[in-house]
Amino acid sequence: MANLPTAQGFIDALRILLPDGRDTLLLRFCLLDRDAAAAAWSSWTQMVGDPRQALEADQRGLKGLLPLINDSIARSGVDVPDGLRTYLRAAAFREELRWGAIETILARLVKTFADKGVQFVLIGGAGVAVTAYREPAHRHCHELRLYVGKTTSGVASALAEAGFNRAHVQDRSPTTETFEHRDGLPLRLMRDLADHPCYANEGSDVVARSIPVEVGGEIVRVASPTDQLVAILSQASTSRHRANLRWACDAWLTIAAARVIDWDRFVTQVAHRRLSLAAATMCSYLRADLHAEIPEPVIAELESASRRTGRLERDAALAGALQGLSSTRSFMGLADWQTRLEAVRFLLFPSRACLAWTYGDKSVWRWPIRYVQRPLRYAISRLARSVKSLRSP
């Protein structure tokens, strides 16, 4: 432990997980009350110029926020150009159509699973949509996530009867299986709340804590707000798609809608899942920058747990944070020299557990190959970017 970089240095570098100042203004507009939202909109539009042009040009997935932005304009009463209003209303209408299709598929899933005597819990975007958002269609959903735990009997046949077939993709994570509906809707079958094995925690009783919600005339079991929050943060900390900002909206609205989060269980779950570093960073942001109702003692407990993390926990944080060359450069720019050395060690010589997380390798004989591959692939990527930059005018 003495050879590890300081926890504070690590936490500072993990700020790359968070939205920047401009994105924070957009989030404040989407989430805060009338006056605060209007002030955020004014500041954001001054920074981006033409809002519609900025949203249309975005390549990170911010278009998924369009229905929520449309709702926020109505709630805050801000004045927007007719062209932008029409653009947002069209996006909201498309999302209503999408949600209608998802609702129909979900209702069919409830019936087929019940016929097989198998229970599932809805988690992910659709789960948050029906429990935290004012209207489910305000949350862009492009997949379903069903938690089934260790259950295996009857699951495949229930999915087949509901119109799902196994997708032709490689599931590296042992906690997920991917299926696809005949209409094109992806479905992830989850053995754990987390889809990355570094944050998996066997034995968490998600089904017992789930809550009933009516969806499409059927009663669907949805993960409890506490479990949803764990799932949201674990996914955001390991996916480059966190740049679309939906994780922040999901977490903020889950906390606001629940009124009471079991914070003791949340802190315990986070620690057991090696998620303390990322959770401390993201929860501090939610509370300080977006005014989420997270008690200050909870932040203190998360930060205290972060200072006690070991190498495996830090490798888990690095596995999620260093998604691509740009993230790696940003992390290095924020890190102190000790944390930079730790990141280099992780990139070149990760633990065997990390190799299993990243590549799904269980065979010992493949590990030496991976140790050679990682620095070689990194060097090739850097060289390719350098050549591209030289050729650019």
- pLDDT tens column, 125-158: 999 999 999 999 999 999 999 999 887 778 989 9
How much is the pLDDT for 370? 59
How much is the pLDDT for 19? 93
Which tops the pLDDT comparison, 204 or 161? 161
Give the model's confidence band at 204: pLDDT under 50 very low, under 70 low, under 90 confident, else very high. low
How much is the pLDDT for 2? 42
Average pLDDT of the residues in 15-34:
93
Q: Which of 175-179, 280-284, 351-355 has the highest mean pLDDT?
A: 280-284
Q: Which residues of 42-81 are buried (b: 16+ CB within 10 A; e: fewer)?
A: ebbbeebeebbebbeeeeeebebbbbbbbbbbebbebebe
How much is the pLDDT for 21? 94
Average pLDDT of the residues in 313-342:
72
CB distance 247 to 232 below 8 Å: yes
Q: Which long-range contacts (CB under 8 A, 24 or more apart) does 142-145 make?
A: 142/185, 142/186, 143/185, 143/186, 143/187, 143/188, 144/102, 144/105, 144/106, 144/109, 144/185, 144/186, 144/187, 144/188, 145/187, 145/188, 145/190
How much is the pLDDT for 377? 63
Give the model's confidence band at 203: pLDDT under 50 very low, under 70 low, under 90 confident, else very high. low
CB distance 107 to 217 below 8 Å: yes
**pLDDT above 70 for 99:** yes
Beta strand ranges found along 41-183 (DSSP E): 121-123, 144-147, 164-166, 176-181
Average pLDDT of the residues in 16-37:
94
CB distance 115 to 48 below 8 Å: no
Average pLDDT of the residues in 113-123:
92
Percentage of the chain lying above the pLDDT 70 cut: 81
Q: Which of 74-88, 190-204, 216-230, 251-265 comes out lowest in average pLDDT?
A: 190-204
How much is the pLDDT for 186? 94
How much is the pLDDT for 173? 66
List Cβ neighbours of 205 (8 Å cut-off, separation of 6 or more).
none
Average pLDDT of the residues in 303-330:
76
Distance CA 180, CA 112 (A): 16
CB distance 269 to 228 below 8 Å: no
The 10s digit of each residue's pLDDT in 39-81 is 999 999 999 999 999 999 998 899 999 999 999 999 999 999 9
List Cβ neighbours of 261 (8 Å cut-off, separation of 6 or more).
225, 226, 229, 255
Q: Which residues of 251-284 are buried (b: 16+ CB within 10 A; e: fewer)?
A: bbbbbeebeebbbeebbebbbebbbbbbbbbbbb
Average pLDDT of the residues in 300-304:
93
How much is the pLDDT for 1? 41
